[in-house]
């Protein structure tokens, strides 16, 4: 089945952990090809391959740090694709294997390739080959995580760790299983906030009244002089809307916060880059600086905006990060028409004369901007490390939800007591 233009709603169904769209200036959900050079009609696998190789050559933003020898990929795979029949199902399977081999080592941890009828996720495959990484450990817990859509044992945290609390769940089609909770950790004056995805602005402005109530309670507590510390829990958070960065982090600062730098492509040359531009978090109107200690809880399934938020908060002198190294997908994404880089379709098979819609052999979902942190390092493909490494065991996750043992949260509380 051939691919027409795809959007992130389709990607969500396939790989929710990587669907998060984080971009510094704009977000557009539709993949567009208005800036790509290789979108001519294709009728054989050689043309599909050339279109894909050229678009990667021109639109992939991490070539300056990626170790993949892209020229060698052309040398090796051009003759292989030339031997395939575009309309033979067995050859399509073979082609998918070739595509996978070509992109397996890419640095971009958002990268997802959709050749005809399939999908390839290099970063996910690398995680699966890492014996220390336990994928979706939350899904095997004895309670139903689908209740809240949270990627950890948040409903147990609600009942076992928090005294007074406000909980919000949005099960509407737009924000299905969006979950947020805030409250005070029992026997402390520590404020806690957790949410399952970065859709805070959207929810606050017109989504669930219950989630808005959670956020209103959180913001109100920030000025409570009795509060002695703050925990922001983004474990298992797959990311979302970049406007949440100013909305959340901006509520904790009173002056602009430079959290790093971004650059994209300035031309079709593999190393044609724009100058590095400061990435600034803007304080919310009327916000005062939160000067009490902050702990961010993050883990291996904190992705994209969850990582950028963690990194932004770490720029505050009163912040520590507890948990595990994050996923490593912090290169912002947006449409190829906004920057001269990013997601694209390849292998234009035909265009409908009446509608003007083109049908493509495949689509590539890839970052449009490279992000460099304030320490001068690029954490794409590596993940952002914690100050205190605490990794729960599978046994700890699988205990009864009435006796849950959360060593990461325990460590955060101990730091703030």
Residue 404 confidence (pLDDT): 58
Residue 105 confidence (pLDDT): 94
**Residue at 117 is within a domain:** yes
**316: domain range?**
137-261+268-331+380-416
Residue 338 confidence (pLDDT): 66
CATH number, domain containing residue 322: 3.90.226.10
Top-confidence residue, 161 or 381: 381
**Residue at 3 is within a domain:** no
Q: Say whether both 177 and 294 belong to one domain.
A: yes
Q: Say whether both 97 and 178 belong to one domain.
A: no
* β-sheet bridge partners, residue 295: 231, 320
Domain count, the chain: 2
**Residue at 373 is within a domain:** no
Beta pairing, strands 229-233 & 190-195: parallel
Predicted confidence band of residue 37 (pLDDT cuts 50, 70, 90):
very low
Q: Say whether both 275 and 404 belong to one domain.
A: yes
**Residue at 237 is within a domain:** yes
CA distance 152 to 196: 9
**Residue at 2 is within a domain:** no
Q: Say whether both 179 and 34 belong to one domain.
A: no
Average pLDDT over residues 180-191: 94
Q: Say whether both 217 and 285 belong to one domain.
A: yes
Which pTM was predicted? 0.85
pLDDT digits (tens, 9 = 90+) for 230-262: 999 998 888 988 899 999 999 999 999 999 999
**Residue at 232 is within a domain:** yes
Q: Say whether both 195 and 113 belong to one domain.
A: no
Q: Say whether both 186 and 198 belong to one domain.
A: yes
And the tokens for 125? Answer: 């495959």
Average pLDDT, the chain: 82
Residue 413 confidence (pLDDT): 96
Q: Say whether both 227 and 318 belong to one domain.
A: yes
Closest C-alpha among 341, 359, 362 to residue 350 = 359
Q: Please calculate the CA angle 51-381-319 and round it to the nearest 5 degrees.
A: 140
Q: Say whether both 288 and 300 belong to one domain.
A: yes
Tell me how far the alpha carbon of residue 202 is from its chain's centroid. 17
Q: Say whether both 350 and 409 belong to one domain.
A: no
Q: Say whether both 195 and 316 belong to one domain.
A: yes
Mapping DSSP to helix (H, G, I), strand (E, B) and coil, where does residue 29 land? coil
Tell me how far the alpha carbon of residue 331 is from its chain's centroid. 9
**Residue at 251 is within a domain:** yes
**Residue at 62 is within a domain:** yes
Q: Please enumerate in sequence order all residues whose Cβ is within 8 A of that of 168, keeping only pairs 6 or more positions apart, or say none.
A: 179, 180, 181, 208, 210, 211, 212, 213, 214
Q: Say whether both 205 and 292 belong to one domain.
A: yes
């Amino acid at each position: 089945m051939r691919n027409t233009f795809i959007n992130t709603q389709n990607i969500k169904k396939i790989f929710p952990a990587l669907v998060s769209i984080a971009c510094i200036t704009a977000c557009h959900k539709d993949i567009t090809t208005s800036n790509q050079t290789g979108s001519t009609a294709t009728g054989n696998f050689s043309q599909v391959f050339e279109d894909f190789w050229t678009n990667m050559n021109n639109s992939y933003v991490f070539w300056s740090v990626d170790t993949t020898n892209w020229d060698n990929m052309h040398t090796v795979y051009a003759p292989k694709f030339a031997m395939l029949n575009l309309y033979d199902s067995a050859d399509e399977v073979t082609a998918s294997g070739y595509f996978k081999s070509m992109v397996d080592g890419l640095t971009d941890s958002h990268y997802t390739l959709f050749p005809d009828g399939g999908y390839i996720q290099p970063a996910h495959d690398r995680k699966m080959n890492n014996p220390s990484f336990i994928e979706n450990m939350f899904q095997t817990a004895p309670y139903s995580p689908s209740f809240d859509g949270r990627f950890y044992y948040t409903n147990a945290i609600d009942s076992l760790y928090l005294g007074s609390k406000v909980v919000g769940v949005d099960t509407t089609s737009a924000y299905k299983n969006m979950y947020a909770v805030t409250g005070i950790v029992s026997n402390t004056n520590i404020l806690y906030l957790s949410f399952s995805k970065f859709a805070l602005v959207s929810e606050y402005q017109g989504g669930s009244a219950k989630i808005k109530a959670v956020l209103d309670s959180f913001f109100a507590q920030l000025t409570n002089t009795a509060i002695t510390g703050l925990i922001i829990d983004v474990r298992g958070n797959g990311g979302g809307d970049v406007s949440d960065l100013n909305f959340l982090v901006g509520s904790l600062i009173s002056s602009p916060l430079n959290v790093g730098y971004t650059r994209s492509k300035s031309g079709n040359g593999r190393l044609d880059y724009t100058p590095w531009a400061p990435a600034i978090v803007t304080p919310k109107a009327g916000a005062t600086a939160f000067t009490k200690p902050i702990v961010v809880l993050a883990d291996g399934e904190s992705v994209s905006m969850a990582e950028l938020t963690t990194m932004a908060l770490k720029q505050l002198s009163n912040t520590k990060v507890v948990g595990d190294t994050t996923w490593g997908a912090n290169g912002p994404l947006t449409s190829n028409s906004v920057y001269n880089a990013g997601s694209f379709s390849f292998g234009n098979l035909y265009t409908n004369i009446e509608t003007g819609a083109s049908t493509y052999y495949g689509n590539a979902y890839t970052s449009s901007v490279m992000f460099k942190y304030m320490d001068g390092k690029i954490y794409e493909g590596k993940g952002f490390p914690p100050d205190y490494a605490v990794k729960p065991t599978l046994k700890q996750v699988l205990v009864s939800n009435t006796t849950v043992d959360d060593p990461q949260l325990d460590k955060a509380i101990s730091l703030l007591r």
